[in-house]
Amino acid sequence: MTDPLPSNAESAPLNPALKSQSETVYDTTHTTPAPIDTASASEGEGEGWSWVWIVVTVLCVALAIWFLL
């Protein structure tokens, strides 16, 4: 009968697919600006989304009640 485990089972990784293939080194000599410094928004931009979510929520609740009755 053959042994299903290799002779060096203790040193083998549990899942060879999870073994790291390459090492990534990040450049720490250059810095990038903070996200708040590069953000662009105008006055009043995006204020209508709260109304959109309210309308969608009311419609979904109305449909749920309609289908349950």
Alpha-carbon gap, residue 63 to 46, rounded angstroms: 27
Q: Which of 6-10, 22-26, 31-35 has the lowest mean pLDDT?
A: 6-10
Cβ burial 52-67 (10 Å sphere, 16+ → b, else e)? eeeeeeeeeeeeeeee
Locate tokens 């959109």: which residue? Answer: 52
- pTM for the structure as a whole: 0.43
Residue 15 has pLDDT above 60, yes or no: yes
Question: How much of the chain, in percent, has pLDDT values that exceed 70?
Answer: 74
How does residue 58 score in pLDDT terms, banded at 50, 70 and 90?
Answer: very high
